[in-house]
Structure 1
Amino acid sequence: MHRREFIGCGGALVALSLMSSTPAAAAASEASTPPQLDKPVLKLKGIAIGEGQPKVIIPTTDSSEKAVLAFVDKIADRSDFHMLELRLDPLDNVDDTDAMAALTRQVFSRLGDKLLLLTFRTKAEGGKKAISDRKYAALYHALLTAGQFDLLDIEMYRDSTLTDPLIGLAHQQGKHIILSSHELHATPSAQEIIARLSEQQRRGADVLKLAAMPKGPEDVLTLLNATLDMHQHYAQRPLLTMSMGETGVLSRMSGELSGSALTFAMFGDASASGQVDVQDLGKVLEVVHKGMRS
């Protein structure tokens, strides 16, 4: 089946993805399930992250500032996404912290009512460049003190003695933090997924993020079920979870059911495997949204 055909039937598949793996597991889960919580919502620039359809993020992938700005100018007026992720790790001059701070101000001014997320994805978690924890923290400190943006992605497994103060600094300045975890070769157990997201919440994240690579369809179901469990019973912040690669594409479309409040799409080049074209993704999200309210 071609990807576009698969996407077209995504709405029908979404409901199947969250079925418990066995009747016994479902019964055990029902017996021990804590009460459901109110939906966590983060409202920024009139965008309610955690209400309605998952909000769509488009990442940049270019290596030059000029190309990044041209890309932003090309898509800023589109109505089919809510947030731009400025990926810093592909940039040739990312070591120039002053230039990076200036770039964030330029991008922010071009986005209007869209949100701006800044991310340096380290090579250890799927990014383009390796960087020491100290340099990582120094770059983020410069962005917080001289840049302009709405959200900052911090990898939860960087040195917390360096990154936790950044969370406090961000909140002092009215900025918001995504704490993230990326498993590039496997999918953790549901218990481990919930434990990581819960740790992110305890550390003060405003959005809780986990991405994992599936080895088969059962891993996609594990991530979706863990997301739903976290959303219903433990989360006090919006979630952003995904199963990566071609096998995990369904997880990028089913957030309104599973509780993942954000999803990534591509316009041009993808920043990660499994991303779907923004127009195709929008169609499926709308189908799911209408179907769940019919």
Structure 2
Amino acid sequence: MKNSIGQSGQPLICASLVAGSQDEILLELAGILAKQPDIIEWRADFFAQISQPAKVLALAETIKQTAGNIPAIFTIRSECEGGQPIPLSAEQIVELNMSICRNTSIEYVDCELCNKADHLGSLKTVAEATGTKIIGSFHNFVFTPGREVLVEKFVQAAEYRLDVAKVAVMPQCLEDVLTLLGATLEAKTKISIPVIAISMGKYGAVSRIIGGVFGSALTFGVGSHASAPGQLPIEDLKTTLPIITKAMGA
């Protein structure tokens, strides 16, 4: 797969779709694709018709076909981890994730680690049968937990046999950013799957540029609208990431 997470020499740049209607999403997609990100993410929790599975599946496939060889991530972020309020239960979300695996050519599905173990197991079974990759994620939009907790989240994703481990947290100070970067570096020595590590907000903006130095395989950039605090424009990431990569190589 082109632009597979964890297979690049520098962090991949991902841009998120966060519009509410199909027409707005496809317009947003066109604008983002013009900026040539490495990966796109559809934040389906923003979709006004999220409770209609047939429309979700059809739009997901349209997004993927329009994106062509740019991989796509399907994400329903829960309200407790920074997502939009939606009329779906945790069980319905997992079912929809499994339907995405079975019925679309979306390459990645994001599933939060707070889900029940049997839900994660069922999703992984379906994903293995369809070739879909699962990103096990943890988000805290309020503060940054301790290093041990963050490492545990990375390790948990690997223990569930998921394909990518993602942690995104909110720092209250620069020391919190160091906590996240240290946990990322430690996780890379403990697990074999790719990791995505993000410190959000103004303090964490630097992590979106240098996270790859500590092992993060992907960073999120603004294509049209930000999906989380502290994201930088795609154009800025395309300028700065190669500089960091070149410097580290030298």
TM-score by length of 2: 0.95
- Alpha-carbon distance, 1:95 to partner: 0.4
Residue of structure 2 equivalent to 1:49? 6
CA deviations 1:246-279 (Å, max 9, x no partner) are: 1111111112211001010001210110111110
| 1:215 has 2:172 as partner | yes
Between Structure 1 and Structure 2, whose CA radius of gyration is higher? Answer: 1
- What are the ranges of 5 or more consecutive residues in structure 1 without an aligned counterpart? 1-43
Report sequence identity in percent. 29
Give the one of 209, 212, 217 matched to 1:261.
217
Distance 1:248 1:58, change over 3 A: same
How far the C-alpha of 1:48 sits from its partner, in A, is 5.9
Q: Deviations over 1:110-157 (max 9, x none)?
A: 112100100000111000124421121222122222222000000010
Counterpart CA distance in 1 for 2:146 and 2:176 is 9
Task: Classify the secondary structure of the residue corresponding to 1:95.
Answer: coil
Alignment of 1:163-202 (within 5 A): 163-202=120-159
Does structure 2 retain, via aligned residues, the 8 Å contact 1:97–1:143?
Answer: no
Correspondence for 2:84 among 128, 133, 138: 128
Structure 2 vs 1, CA of residues 113 and 77 (structure 1 numbering), >3 Å: closer, same or farther? farther
Cα drift, residue 56 of structure 1: 0.6
Q: How many residues align?
A: 249
Does the C-alpha gap of structure 1 residues 47 and 146 become closer, same or farther in structure 2, counting only changes over 3 Å? closer
The answer to whether the Cα contact below 8 Å between 1:98 and 1:142 also exists between their aligned partners in 2 is no
Mapped pair 1:63 → 2:20: yes
- Give the Cα separation in 2 of the matches to 1:126 and 1:102: 25
> 1:77 Cα deviation (Å)?
4.6
Alignment equivalent of 2:241, drawn from 271, 285, 288: 285
Distance 2:224 2:129 in 1: 36
If asked which structure has higher relative contact order (CA below 8 Å, sep 6+), I would say 1
After alignment, is 218-227 or 141-150 more displaced? 141-150
Residue 112 (1) aligns with residue 68 (2): yes
Residue range with higher mean Cα deviation, 264-273 or 44-53: 44-53
- In 2, distance between residues paired with 1:143 and 1:286? 34
1:50 Cα shift?
A: 4.1
The C-alpha deviation readout for 1:202-242, integer Å capped at 9, x for no partner, is: 101111001111111100000001101111x1120110011
The two structures have a TM-score, normalised by structure 1, of 0.81
- CA distance in structure 2 between the aligned counterparts of 1:166 and 1:139, rounded to whole angstroms: 10
Q: Secondary structure at the match of 1:109?
A: helix
Q: Which runs of 5+ in 2 are unaligned?
A: none
Aligned to 1:32: none
The residue number in structure 1 matching 2:30 is: 73
| CA drift at 1:168 | 1.3
Partners of 1:126 and 1:214 lie apart in 2 by 15
The answer for the alignment partner of 2:45 in structure 1 is 89
